[in-house]
Amino acid sequence: MVIVLKVCHLYPDLLNLYGDRGNVIAFYRRCQWRGIEVKVEEVNLGDQVDFSSYDFLFMGGGSDREQNLLASDLGEQVENLKTAIEDNLVVLAICGGYQLLGKYYLMPDGTRVPGLGILDYYTEAGNKRLIGNIAVNLQMGDKEVYITGFENHGGKTFLGSVEPLGKVMSGNGNNGTDGHEGARYKNVFCSYLHGPLLPKNAAITDYMISQALKRRNKNFFLNDLDDTFEKRANSVMLERLL
Partner 1 sequence: MRLIKTISALWLAKVVMLLSRLLGKGKGSTLPGMIALKIYPGLLHSFSFQLRKGIIIVTGTNGKTTTNNMLAQILAGSGYKVLANLEGANLKKGVTAAFIKAAGLSGKINCDYAVLEVDEGAFPGVVSDIKPQAVVVTNFFRDQLDRYGELDTTIQVVSRALKNTEKVKLVLNADDPLVAQLCKKTGQAAFFYGIDFIETSITGVIEDTKEAKFCPFCGNNLKYNLYHYSQLGDYVCPGCEFRRPEPDINVSRVYKDGNYFYGSMYFDNNNINLSVPAGGVYNYYNALAAFAASVYLGIEPQVSAGVLYNYTSAIGRMDRFFYNDKPVLLNLVKNPTGFNQSLAALLAQERFQNLLIAINDNDADGRDISWLWDVNFEAIEEKENYFNNFICTGKRGEEMAVRLKYAGVSTNKITVEKSLEGAVSAALSQESEVTYLLVTYTALWQVDSILNKKAKRVGYSAESMPSVS
Query: What does the binding site for partner 1 look like in residue numbers (CB under 8 A)?
Result: 13-14, 16-22, 25-26, 29, 63-66, 69, 129, 131-133, 150, 152, 154, 194-196, 199-200, 226, 229-230, 232-233, 236
| Helix 64-75 / helix 78-86 crossing angle, nearest 10 deg | 80
Whichever of 3 and 225 has its CB closer to partner 1, that residue is: 225
Burial (CB < 10 A; 0-12, 13-18, 19+), residue 111, is: exposed
> Is 8 an active-site residue?
no
8 beta partners: 41, 57
Beta bridge partners of 113: 105
In angstroms, the CA 48 to CA 77 distance is 8
CB of 55 to partner 1, least distance (A): 19
Q: Indicate which residue of 9, 95, 180, 190 is catalytic.
A: 95
The verdict on whether 194 is a catalytic residue reads yes
Per residue in 15-37, is it b (16+ CB within 10 Å) or e — as a string?
A: bbbbebbbbbebbbebbeebebe
> Rounded to the nearest whole angstrom, what is the least distance from the CB of residue 88 to partner 1 in the complex?
26
> Judged by CB, which is closer to partner 1: 19, or 176?
19
**In the complex, least distance from residue 14 CB atom to partner 1, rounded to whole angstroms:** 8
Q: Which is nearer to partner 1, 110 or 128 (CB)?
A: 128
H/E stretch holding 134: strand 121-140
- Of 13 and 79, the one with the shorter C-beta distance to partner 1 is 13
Q: How far is the CB of 186 from partner 1 (least distance, A)?
A: 27
Enzyme catalytic residues: 95, 194
